[in-house]
Structure 1
């Protein structure tokens, strides 16, 4: 299954998600929130709403609307 992962696209998703977190938290100066949302740009140029939420383990999970 790991052979199907497009690493450059995954890195782009992680970088865009980090940017949403950074901007929403005023460069991590605000208190940590359990939910963030924003738009990312997909490889085809379309904008997609994404949700970032804190899970039970204290780690953030990136989800598209169909996963939320």
Structure 2
């Protein structure tokens, strides 16, 4: 009986270890996903800023030509 209890304990410990590893991996993946989303958002904001800057420069140039 002691052998069976020890085997079940070892099996349980193995499952627990695997679940902890899975949780660590999921946490790392979530962190990476969030970092990538932040990078993507920054790129979009930079692109919008370039569009706005170009638009503003065009308007200023047109105003200066009229004067």
Give the TM-score normalised by structure 2.
0.33
The structure with the largest alpha-carbon Rg is 2
Tell me which protein shows more strand as a share of its residues.
Answer: 1
Higher relative contact order (CA 8 A, sep 6+): 1
Give the TM-score normalised by structure 1.
0.32
